[in-house]
Chain A
């Protein structure tokens, strides 16, 4: 699994964990989620992620709210890379995008 690469890379000789300049913490170093060759949500303004099964199909989706009030959803890309996601698409009902008013 690709995640293990990132986890192992941060172990120091003392057993402490380096977090890219942070002090030791209870988390491994952050790793960025991807979509294709790009970062997931790279074009989303103030992305706010939730991981849940939003459509009831038994698989968790990545649901991302944004500053303008849109909600987008991405499916797992599949395969062994748990960081890889499909393309974010607007959450729609009967063709209508879910959009919360903002200013």
Chain B
């Protein structure tokens, strides 16, 4: 579960936005700060984010990539969500990621800042002119201006394929468009999948956070996941969870 800390409802307080393996989007709204400590007031109980019809937002409806219209013939599972002003109209839209079909979709906010009204349709997001796809499945979408060109890029980790044909990595989808009309390039590996895990670095379930960890002015990568070693288990490997730091050189 990758969480985004963002002022989702425009009240000046930090909220937690996420999606879980339930397949729907949640927000835990920030609470007022304590007058005594002046620290943040914590978070209310999570609630589903709903569309204009009162339905939970997820990926149950998707656009036929063959151009045949909206369809629900298969059920991609929304497991990551981030708020992003896709069209630069001042309110936050949603990007929804899917671990089992590797894709990302846009859910537009037809309301306004502080009063969101989400549409009912998921639009496929393209990368490199093709439907966004990440072999091994999307873990958590992260929004960041990775290359400091003034527009928001996507950094995303992957789980790794169940058949181990590709293990987990971390990828950059560079935004080659501009504010209000994002256009993402094809995936570029920031951390290429390991081919022979030896327990020294994560190889499955890579959740990345692009952040200036050492505060030297560039973005590093914090990566949660599993470092694997060979074992007598069913797939021949066992994993140990942890968090790794990849410092930018």
Main secondary structure of the interface of A (DSSP, over half): loop
A91 touches B214 (CB 8 A): no
A32 touches B28 (CB 8 A): no
CB neighbours of A52 from chain B (8 A) = 5, 211
B195 CB, nearest partner CB in chain A, Å: 8
| Choice from B18, B190, B241 contacting A27 with Cβ under 8 Å | B190
A21 CB, nearest partner CB in chain B, Å: 6
Contact with A along B218-249 (1 / 0, CB 8 A): 00111111100000000000001111111111
- For B, the interface residue count at a CB cutoff of 8 angstroms equals 58
A76 CB, nearest partner CB in chain B, Å: 11
A39 touches B248 (CB 8 A): no
Instruction: Give chain B interface residues in 97-112, CB to chain A under 8 Å.
Output: none
Interface residues on A, range: 35 or more
In the complex, what distance in Å separates the CA atom of A98 from the CA atom of B47? Answer: 12
Instruction: Give chain B interface residues in 147-187, CB to chain A under 8 Å.
Output: none
Interface residues of A (CB under 8 A from B): 3, 7, 17, 19-23, 25-28, 30-33, 39-52, 54-57, 62-67, 69, 71, 82-83, 91-94, 96, 98-103
A selection of 21 A-B contacts at a CB cut-off of 8 Å is A20-B198, A21-B194, A22-B191, A23-B192, A26-B249, A30-B223, A31-B245, A33-B222, A39-B242, A40-B242, A41-B241, A50-B3, A55-B40, A56-B40, A64-B243, A65-B3, A69-B1, A69-B20, A92-B42, A94-B42, A98-B28
Interface residues of B (CB under 8 A from A): 1-3, 5, 14, 16, 18, 20-22, 26, 28, 31, 33, 38-46, 139-140, 190-192, 194-196, 198, 200-202, 205, 207, 209, 211, 213-214, 220-226, 240-249
